Amino acid sequence: MIRDITLGQYFPGNSWVHRLDPRIKIIATLLFLIELFIVDNFIGFGIAAVCLGVVIAVSGVPVGYILRGLRPILMILIFTFALNIFMVNGRVLWQWKFLHITAEGLELAVFMAIRLILLLMGSSMLTLCTRPLALTDGIERLLSPFKKIGLPAHDIAMMMTIALRFIPTLLEEADKIMKAQQARGADFESGNIIRRAKSLIPILVPLFVSAFRIAQDLALAMEARCYRGGENRTRMNGMKFAKRDYAAIVMMVAFLAVIIAESWLL
């Protein structure tokens, strides 16, 4: 089911990681992602994995829960793994007809797989441990310096907030419409591509109509609740750096130093 996707979902908690300033978490995640792309050896991954492991342990989010979030991308993972393992030339370890596995290919496949897994686990930690609204607030704050050059930071953040809120609602709506059309004999599974694309019209039209209705209702409700853009708006969870945030900055700097040192030395 589409609703089982954990990617991009919040895992309620009150851990040290949860309480960190969202700006710190966003920057840390970006740093982590950049690191994964800079690193060119397994030791670097090792360091990253250990750091991620510590963050996960502190956060209290069950590892199984995070791993389940990887399920939707399992196919991509297997595909890239297979692509790397069979396509890279080098020292042949195993061969069958035109298929061959090389040591280099194996290494690259494992390397890329680890990178992908760490990448996804790292970025899902951000959304798992940060309330969606705090996340969008964080993004808004981080983008606010660019307001001067005309970047609508608040509006971007608000759009993300609403998207996060309504994705499940729209999925549910799509599910309902699909069932209703199936009950009218619609067939989404058979036929060629053109036929199948055409069979989506009875779902997409009502879904768009629903989305517009939601948008209209929501706009009215937001206006009624005195929404007037970002001006003079306060936040319930105001953002102030606490001690833990400074501690996190120190850790991030240390992490950066280790990575740089590691890639220079090795």
Partner 1 sequence: MPTESLALDDVSFEIADGQMFGIIGHTGSGKSTLLQHLNGLLKPESGHIIIGDVDITEPDIAMTEIRKRIGLVFQYPEYQLFEETVAKDVAFGPRNLGLAEEEIQERVREAIELVGLDYETFKERSPFELSGGQKRRVAIAGVIAMRPEALILDEPTAGLDPKAHKDVLKMVEEVHRRTGNITILVSHNMADIARLCDRVLVIDSGRVVTVGTPKEVFSRRRELAEVGLDLPPVTQLTEALRQRGFQIDETILSVEEAAEQIAACLKARNTHNTQNVRRTEDK
Partner 2 sequence: MEPIIKIENLVFAYAKGEGREAVRAVDGVSLAIERGSFTAILGKNGSGKSTLAKNLNGLLLPTEGVIYVNGYDTADDEHIWDVRQSAGMVFQNPDNQLVSAIVEDDVAFGPENLGIEPAEIRRRVDKALQDVNMGAYKNKPPHLLSGGQKQRVAIAGVVAMKPSCIIFDEPTAMLDPKGRSEIMSIIKELHAEGITVILITHFMEEAVEAERVIIMHDGRVFMDGTPQEVFSRQEKVLSVNLDIPLAVELADMLRERGIAVPENIIKTEEMVEYLCQYE
Interface contacts to partner 2, rule CB under 8 A: 10, 12, 131-133, 161-162, 164-165, 168-169, 172, 213-214, 217-218, 220-228, 232-238
- 20-55 b/e with 16+ CB inside 10 Å = b? bbbbbbbbbbebbbebbeebeeeebbebbbebbeeb
Binding flag, residue 195, partner 1 (CB under 8 A)? no
Q: Which of helix, strand or coil describes residue 99?
A: strand
- Residue in 76, 87, 197, 209 binding partner 1, rule: CB under 8 A: 209
Residue 161 contact partner, candidates partner 2, partner 1, none, CB within 5 to 8 A by sort of partner: partner 2
| Residue 30 near residue 135, CB atoms below 8 Å | no
Task: Give 50's contacts (C-beta < 8 A, 6+ positions apart).
Answer: none
Residue 148 contact partner, candidates partner 1, partner 2, none, CB within 5 to 8 A by sort of partner: none
Binding flag, residue 63, partner 1 (CB under 8 A)? no
Binding flag, residue 72, partner 1 (CB under 8 A)? no
How many CA atoms lie within 13 Å of 155's alpha carbon, on the beta-carbon side? 6
From the CB of 176, what's the least distance to partner 2, in Å? 12
Q: How far apart are CA 23 and CA 252, in angstroms?
A: 13
Which phi and psi angles does 226 have, rounded to 5°?
65, 25
Binding flag, residue 201, partner 1 (CB under 8 A)? yes
Residue 185 contact partner, candidates partner 2, partner 1, none, CB within 5 to 8 A by sort of partner: partner 1
| Residue 175 near residue 154, CB atoms below 8 Å | no
Residue 195 contact partner, candidates partner 1, partner 2, none, CB within 5 to 8 A by sort of partner: none
Binding flag, residue 60, partner 1 (CB under 8 A)? no
| Residue 243 near residue 24, CB atoms below 8 Å | no
H or E element: which one contains 161? helix 153-183
| Residue 215 near residue 162, CB atoms below 8 Å | no
The residue written with tokens 């397994």 in the block is 42
Binding flag, residue 176, partner 1 (CB under 8 A)? yes
Residue 183 contact partner, candidates partner 1, partner 2, none, CB within 5 to 8 A by sort of partner: partner 1
Q: Which of helix, strand or coil describes residue 92?
A: strand
Nearest residue (CB) to partner 2, 84 versus 136: 136
- Kindly identify the residues of this chain, within the stretch 235-254, that bind partner 1 according to CB under 8 A: none
Binding flag, residue 205, partner 1 (CB under 8 A)? yes
Using CB under 8 A, list all residues that contact partner 1: 68, 173, 176-177, 179-187, 201-202, 205-206, 209-210
